[in-house]
Amino acid sequence: MLIRLVTFCLTGIVLANVPLSAQLAVKGDTVYTMAGEAISNGVILIEDGKFSSVGSAGDIVIPDGWLTLSAVVVTPGLIDAHTTVGISGLLNQAHDQEQVEKSAPIQPELRAIDAYNARDELVDWVRNLGITTIHTGHGPGALISGQTMILKTDRKNISDGTLNPFAMIAGSLGQGGLSKDEKKSPGTRAKTIALLRADLIKAGEYLEKLEKGEEGKKPDRNLRLEALGEVLQGNIPLLLTAHRHQDIGAALRLAEEFGFRLILDGASEAHLIINDIKDAGVPVIVHPTMMRAGGDKENMTMEMAAILDREGIPFALQSGFESYVPKTRVVLFEAAMAAAYGLAFESALGSITIKAAEILEIDDRVGSIEVGKDADLALFDGDPFEYVTHCTAVVIDGELVKGAAQ
């Protein structure tokens, strides 16, 4: 029996909220595990919030009394590799737009977890479209805007249970990193790199003083340098939004100079500097396919995901952030557009599941349907990339957060 909603998935209405079940079965005409070939007539068993069995209906028997879900297509829970959801809110008003602090150009000490609103309706909306994990936090619009975090979209209390409360430090090069006030710094591209380089040098010196300083002689705690020190020590990546080829090149040179882990974000002109990106081994979180082509993004291409895939460059898709409505897109639609512009179906699905999980370093928990991993699923009544298809049920950690069981 197929799970079919009486309302479209886009309404964001949750039809059922089933408490965490120790035993749940999911049947799919096609199950994309993202850990091997798709399974026809597949069955998934879930116990205590984890996948306990995955295979064909001929090999797996559903025990009597188990709650059961059925769908045409079953995929791992979808992952948005970069968003500001929960930091920027549904209302699009000043009071729910917390993604960029304008008081200074460099503020790596700002923690996403301190601003995230788990109860914002926008979080519910994306979850009901199958998105179970988000990498969210401070967004583009400042040279260094702050920290990011990774969490599930069912979290109402984020004091615990986040996948990573301090995932990356986010920044912007090019127009996004410049001050909008002509009297304030930085006003040019060269100044942005000089400011960033100066603070990275200070962070390195701060780490040396901490290591060498005797008790009572260590430097006073500095939250900014402490956060940048995490980047220099290789504990977290620096996520730099860079669209122009010269800004991408500057990011690559800076990473080579200081030896930090870099993730490129946006990268509208990556196709113009593709060999440098490939040689550096840097992953890319691709700009939203449907963002407006203007300013630094005027040379974007809707074929970017397909180009990166052909070149063997690791990439994932994102909903992203822009200052005009709707601000938040849906990565499921972005993957569908990437597939329409040359990306193979399973590569497109991988870009919002397992490949995103690998770049975010959470693939030991999510991104594929494998025994022992978190039981996160999205269920559909047709091809997930078809506009008329509905997301009929969502499971997070074995809990049915949308849909109804048989």
Q: What is the per-residue pLDDT across 297-313, written as a single tens digit (0 to 9) for each?
A: 999 999 999 999 999 99
**pLDDT tens per residue across span 361-377:** 999 999 999 999 999 99
pLDDT per residue as tens digits for the range 220-265: 999 999 999 999 999 999 999 999 999 999 999 999 999 999 999 9
Nearest to 172, CA basis, from 330, 317, 273, 320: 320
> Does the pLDDT of residue 176 top 60, yes or no?
yes
Question: What is the predicted pLDDT for the residue at 327?
Answer: 62
Query: What is the mean pLDDT of the segment spanning 74-83?
Result: 97
pTM: 0.92
CB atoms within 10 A of CB 326: 11
- Do 164 and 263 lie in one domain? The reply is yes
Could you tell me which residue, 270 or 88, shows the higher pLDDT?
A: 270
Residues 305 and 230 in one domain: yes
Q: What is the CA radius of gyration of the chain?
A: 22
For residue 99, what pLDDT band results from cuts at 50, 70 and 90? Answer: confident
Please state, as a whole number, how many other Cβ atoms lie within 10 Å of the Cβ of residue 6: 6
**Cis amide prior to 165 (ω within 30 degrees):** no
Q: Are residues 350 and 373 in the same domain?
A: no
Residue 376 counted as domain residue:
yes
| Predicted pLDDT of residue 6 | 29
Q: Give the range among 154-158, 325-329, 378-382 with minimum mean pLDDT.
A: 325-329
- Domain presence at residue 275: yes
The CA–CA distances, whole Å, from 256 to 174, 206, 274 equal 19, 20, 17
Mean pLDDT of 119-131: 93
Give dist(CA 321, CA 265) in Å, integer. 11
Cα–Cα distances in angstroms (integers) from residue 133 to residues 55, 139, 186, 367, 375, in the given order: 24, 17, 34, 9, 12
* 115 bridge partner residues: none
Residue 158: C-alpha distances to residues 25, 118, 139, 162, 164 (Å): 28, 7, 19, 6, 11
Cβ-count burial of 221 within 10 angstroms (0-12 exposed, 13-18 middle, 19+ buried)?
exposed
Q: What is the pLDDT of residue 11?
A: 34
- Residue 166 domain flag: yes
pLDDT score at 216: 66
On whether both 192 and 267 belong to a single domain, the answer is yes
215 and 273 assigned to the same domain: yes
CATH of the domain at 63: 2.30.40.10
Task: Identify the sign of the CA torsion 69, 74, 79, 83.
Answer: negative
Q: Is residue 298 part of a domain?
A: yes
Same domain, 124 and 145: yes
Asked if the model's pLDDT at residue 283 lies above 90, the reply is: yes
Query: Which range marks the domain in which residue 384 is found?
Result: 9-75+369-402
> Given this model, what pLDDT does residue 88 score?
83
397: tokens are 């950690």
Please answer whether residues 143 and 191 qualify as being in contact, where contact means their C-beta atoms are separated by less than 8 angstroms.
no
Q: What is the pLDDT of residue 324?
A: 65
Asked if 57 and 142 sit in the same domain, the reply is no
- Looking at the structure of the chain, the number of domains it has is 2
Write down the mean pLDDT value for the chain.
90
- Residues with Cβ within 8 Å of residue 220, at least 6 apart in sequence: none
Percentage of the chain surpassing pLDDT 70?
Answer: 92
Question: pLDDT tier at 321 (50, 70, 90 boundaries)?
Answer: confident
The answer on 167 and 250 residing in a single domain is yes
Same domain for 148 and 252, yes or no, is yes
Quick check: is 1 in a domain? no
Same domain membership, residue 226 and residue 251:
yes
d(CA 91, CA 122): 9
**CB neighbour list of residue 66: distance below 8 Å, 6 or more residues apart:** 23, 24, 25, 45
The C-alpha atoms of residue 71 and residue 88 are separated, in whole angstroms, by: 33
Q: How confident is the model at residue 77 (pLDDT cuts 50, 70, 90)?
A: very high
Place of tokens 């977290």: 236
Is 4 part of a structural domain of the chain?
no
Backbone angles phi, psi at 157, to 5 degrees: -130, 110
The CA distance from 41 to 107, in Å, is 51
Residue 14: the pLDDT is 38
pLDDT over 70 (residue 352): yes
Q: What are the pLDDT digits (tens) for 17-42? A: 445 456 999 999 999 999 999 999 99
pLDDT of residue 213: 76
Q: What separation in angstroms does the CA of 356 have from each of 3, 98, 127?
A: 27, 24, 17
| 136 in a structural domain | yes
User: Can you tell me the mean pLDDT for 290-302?
Assistant: 90
Residue 220 shares a structural domain with residue 88:
yes
d(CA 179, CA 7): 45
Q: Are residues 45 and 120 in the same domain?
A: no
Q: What is the mean pLDDT of residues 122-126?
A: 92
Alpha carbons within 13 A on the beta-carbon side of 369? 32
Question: Which pLDDT score is estimated for 195?
Answer: 97
For residue 199, is it within any domain?
Answer: yes
